[in-house]
Amino acid sequence: MTEDPIRIGVIGGSGLYQMEGLINVEERAITTPFGDPSDAIVIGTLEGVRVAFVARHGRGHRITPTEVNYRAN
């Protein structure tokens, strides 16, 4: 069975550390050619559409704006 493609990507800013309403949620720790993103990528379904989400500053705002690896995100 083929998985539906992810149609929307969201990078959450200050105060947005999770997406309400996501179902079938899974987390994927990834590494990009630019290094690790700020947090694990959260993938789920929102109103029938597959969505990927990452918290720009990490959950709990643990990464300052000058330390965010923007290219990896």
pLDDT tens digit sequence for 1-54: 567 899 999 998 876 767 889 999 999 999 999 999 999 999 999 999 999 999
Helix/strand/coil for 65: helix
What pLDDT score does 25 carry? 93
Q: Model-level pTM?
A: 0.84
Encoded tokens for 14 = 């200050």
**Pairing of the two strands 8-12 and 49-55:** parallel
